[in-house]
């Protein structure tokens, strides 16, 4: 009998530790002036936005009615002489004196002298140019929005880090901004590798399959706010990979799929190193996606941020899982989000689920919000090549390693894909 004990493999990197490594290398992209077209939606401000005016710019009528002096209507009832009509967009010309009122429209400036607006519904215009009022006693300021109540000239109305949503677009318009300083969309180069791949418009011949990862990654990148640049298919051949990798390294982010496992033709890690990429990890304790590679490419001459390079395993569900766990947070951080995620949702399993796995597993699942909280149901799935299962899924549920009979009612961390 041999007393040779097989050397224990060093423990594999955990997902959270791998994410922490990636985070160290990511800074928000340098901000750029950005016109406020719909393309700016979802971008993150890189400078405070300050108001150039008071809002409202004058004491403003909030209702249609009559601008009055409260002192004239101690009981709420009275008859006042109408001296002027003030539509929105006009400046009052007359001061409201004792016994007088001005007809006023919503949005118009309150005339000097008046301190309340009586609703039109509580009044009746008589033929002699007077208005009869029958209301509760008015309070000073009633139906008036004071000048500067919403914002004052010089206020920071949108601080650095604000995400531009429709309401922020409206505020920017209010303060006269048609351009902002924001972090741009990261350009992301996408390279599929594999001798077996043909493009989707081709019919695969013997031993071939269509390149699904190209389309998948273009869509994942677009949805995550990146600008995809699809480079095509590289053959498992250094002469083909070399120039395509070189091209891809011009972008701030390069995503490759395939060629990162232990096979003889898995050339991606060695070709990346040859191109000058510094490897930070290769293999993470997860399923699918274990062979994932991450490295950075320092810019020749030292100028600018290094390119971030991910070698994603070729199976499409591995691509998707690695994208959600590692790449999406990178794109969010490059776009200036303070909190790049990913964010897990604790959800209750809807049915018993027996599952055996040797690594923490991100299993395709259906996640749903119910009146009783989040519910998750794993969908049938035959493994990392089975992208079709993802069409029935909107989430990945995280199952621990081991041979388990998970019970309905147990809580699991879940990653939404939407």
Rule CB under 5 A: is residue 313 a binding residue for Mg ion?
no
Rule CB under 6 A: is residue 259 a binding residue for ligand AMP?
yes
Between 238 and 304, CB nearer to Mg ion: 238
- Total residues at the site for ligand AMP (CB under 6 A)? 19
Nearest residue to ligand AMP, scored by beta-carbon proximity: 314
Of 259, 325, 342, nearest in space to 286 by CA: 325
Long-range pairs, 349-352, Cβ under 8 A, ≥24: 349/375, 349/376, 349/377, 349/397, 349/406, 349/407, 349/408, 349/409, 349/410, 349/411, 349/412, 350/375, 350/376, 350/377, 350/408, 351/377, 351/408, 352/405, 352/406, 352/407, 352/408
Between 306 and 316, CB nearer to ligand AMP: 316
DSSP state of 145: E
Q: Are 149 and 56 in contact (CB under 8 A)?
A: yes
Backbone angles phi, psi at 293, to 5 degrees: -115, 140
Tell me which of 65, 186, 258, 336 binds Mg ion, using CB under 5 A.
Answer: 258
Tell me which of 51, 192, 361, 414 binds ligand AMP, using CB under 6 A.
Answer: 192
Between 51 and 257, CB nearer to Mg ion: 257
- Total residues at the site for Mg ion (CB under 5 A)? 4
Rule CB under 6 A: is residue 213 a binding residue for ligand AMP?
yes
Rule CB under 6 A: is residue 258 a binding residue for ligand AMP?
yes
Identify which range of 157-165, 250-258, 339-347, 377-385 contacts Mg ion by CB under 5 A: 250-258
Q: What is the C-alpha radius of gyration for the chain, rounded to an integer number of angstroms?
A: 32
Identify which range of 39-47, 306-314, 341-349, 392-400 contacts Mg ion by CB under 5 A: 306-314
Rule CB under 6 A: is residue 257 a binding residue for ligand AMP?
yes
Backbone angles phi, psi at 256, to 5 degrees: -110, 150
Examine residue 288 and say whether the peptide bond preceding it is cis (omega within 30 degrees of 0). yes
In angstroms, the CA 311 to CA 290 distance is 11
Identify which range of 77-85, 99-107, 206-214, 334-342 contacts ligand AMP by CB under 6 A: 206-214
Tell me which of 56, 92, 111, 316 binds ligand AMP, using CB under 6 A.
Answer: 316
Rule CB under 6 A: is residue 211 a binding residue for ligand AMP?
yes
* Sequence-distant (≥ 6) Cβ neighbours of residue 269 within 8 angstroms: 260, 279, 282, 293, 311
109 binds, among ligand AMP, Mg ion, none (CB under 5 to 8 A by kind): none
Rule CB under 6 A: is residue 65 a binding residue for ligand AMP?
no
Rule CB under 5 A: is residue 194 a binding residue for Mg ion?
yes
Rule CB under 6 A: is residue 209 a binding residue for ligand AMP?
yes
Of 239, 236, 240, 217, nearest in space to 228 by CA: 217
Tell me which of 31, 92, 184, 313 binds ligand AMP, using CB under 6 A.
Answer: 313
DSSP, collapsed to helix, strand or coil, labels residue 365 as strand
In angstroms, the CA 84 to CA 72 distance is 17
| Least distance between ligand AMP and beta carbon 190 (Å) | 10
Identify which range of 25-33, 52-60, 94-102, 210-218 contacts ligand AMP by CB under 6 A: 210-218
DSSP state of 4: P
Between 313 and 329, CB nearer to ligand AMP: 313
Identify which range of 126-134, 253-261, 272-280, 399-407 contacts ligand AMP by CB under 6 A: 253-261
Rule CB under 6 A: is residue 196 a binding residue for ligand AMP?
yes
Token readout for 34 is: 């950005």
In angstroms, the CA 297 to CA 197 distance is 27
Of 331, 324, 306, nearest in space to 15 by CA: 324
| Least distance between ligand AMP and beta carbon 247 (Å) | 18
Instruction: Write out the residues near ligand AMP by the rule CB under 6 A.
Output: 192, 194, 196-197, 209, 211-213, 257-261, 263, 266, 313-316
Instruction: Write out the residues near Mg ion by the rule CB under 5 A.
Output: 194, 258-259, 314
């Amino acid at each position: 009998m041999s007393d040779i004990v097989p050397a224990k493999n060093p423990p594999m990197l955990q997902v959270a530790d791998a994410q922490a490594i990636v985070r160290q290398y990511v800074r928000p992209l340098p901000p750029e002036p950005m016109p406020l077209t719909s393309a700016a939606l979802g971008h993150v401000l890189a400078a405070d936005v300050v108001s150039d005016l008071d809002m409202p710019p004058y004491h403003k009528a909030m209702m249609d009615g009559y601008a009055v002096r409260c002192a004239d209507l101690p009981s709420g009832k009275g008859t006042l002489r109408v001296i002027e009509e003030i539509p929105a967009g006009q400046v009052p010309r007359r001061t409201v004196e004792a016994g007088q009122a001005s007809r006023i429209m919503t949005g118009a400036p309150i005339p000097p002298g008046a301190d309340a607006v009586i609703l039109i519904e509580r009044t009746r215009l008589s033929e002699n140019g007077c208005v009869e009022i029958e209301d509760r006693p008015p309070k000073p300021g009633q139906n008036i929005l004071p000048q500067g109540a919403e914002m004052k000239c010089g206020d920071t109305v949108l601080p650095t880090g604000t995400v531009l949503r429709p309401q922020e677009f409206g505020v920017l318009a209010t303060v006269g901004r048609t351009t902002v300083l924001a972090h741009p969309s990261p350009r992301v180069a996408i390279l599929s590798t594999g001798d077996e791949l043909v493009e989707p418009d081709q019919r695969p011949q013997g031993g071939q399959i269509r390149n699904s990862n190209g389309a998948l990654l273009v869509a994942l990148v677009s949805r995550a706010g990146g600008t995809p640049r699809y480079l095509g298919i590289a053959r498992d051949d250094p002469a083909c990979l070399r120039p395509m990798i070189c091209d891809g390294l011009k972008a701030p982010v390069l995503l490759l799929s395939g060629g990162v496992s232990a096979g003889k033709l898995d050339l991606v890690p060695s070709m990346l190193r040859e191109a000058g990429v510094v490897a930070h990890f290769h293999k993470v304790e997860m399923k699918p996606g274990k062979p994932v590679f991450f490295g950075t490419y320092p810019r020749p001459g030292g100028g600018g941020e290094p390119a971030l390079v991910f070698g994603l395993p070729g199976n499409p569900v591995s691509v998707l899982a690695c994208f959600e766990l590692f790449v999406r947070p990178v794109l969010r951080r490059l776009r200036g989000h303070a909190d790049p995620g990913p964010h897990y949702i604790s959800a209750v399993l809807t049915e018993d689920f027996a599952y055996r796995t040797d690594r923490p597993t991100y299993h395709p699942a259906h996640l749903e919000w119910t009146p009783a909280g989040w519910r998750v149901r794993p969908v049938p799935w035959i493994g990392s090549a089975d992208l079709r299962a993802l069409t029935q899924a909107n989430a990945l549920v995280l199952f621990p390693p081991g041979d388990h009979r998970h019970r309905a009612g147990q809580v699991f961390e879940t990653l939404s894909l939407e």
